[in-house]
Amino acid sequence: EIYKNKSAPSAEISQTAMQEKTPIDVIAETANKLAQNLKSQILDEISQKKPSFFEYLAARLLEKTGYGVGRLTKSGADGGIDGIIDEDELGLSQIYVQAKSWQGTVSRPEIQKFVGAISDKQTKKGVFITTSKFSKDAERYAANALAAYLFVIYFALSFCV
């Protein structure tokens, strides 16, 4: 029993020592928490704005990341296309954009509607961006649709970190 009593505290000390974090670990953990907080605040702000704000934001984001010059389609009944990115100066190669600022999961029928909207366009490149998440079925459909010319993006704000 004396042996067990002596070994118990040292076992606790070694576990505590292993659980202690270095200053770098604390900084990294704090930075991750702050980034998650910021992402949450930005998504909250976006969700309180009109849908046209997120459409504008998505088009500008694609433009600023080098995909080309973006423009929004008309407000209201836009035929399922919220924006168009001209990949070249003449506008011969285009990417069609659908931007949804949603709270619920984006399901396969929404992706199918977008694919239908771009199916009669000269180019078949499309980007569907949402503040929500995609259902697994929607992701599978998008992965197989239009031979990899359709991209679905969860607006996770990874560019903030």
Higher-pLDDT residue of 89 and 160 is 89
Burial of 105 from C-beta contacts in 10 A (0-12 / 13-18 / 19+):
middle
29-36, long-range: CB within 8 Å, 24+ apart, which pairs?
Answer: 31/161, 35/160, 35/161
Give ∠ CA 142-44-49 in degrees, rounded to 5.
85
pLDDT tier at 69, thresholds 50, 70, 90: confident
- Position 31 scores a pLDDT of 94
Helix (H) or strand (E) holding 96: strand 94-100
Q: Is the pLDDT of residue 152 over 70?
A: no
Q: What is the DSSP string of 131-154?
A: SS-B-HHHHHHHHHGGGGTEEEEE
Q: What is the mean pLDDT of residues 111-122?
A: 85
CA quadruple 131, 134, 138, 141: dihedral sign: positive
DSSP 66: T
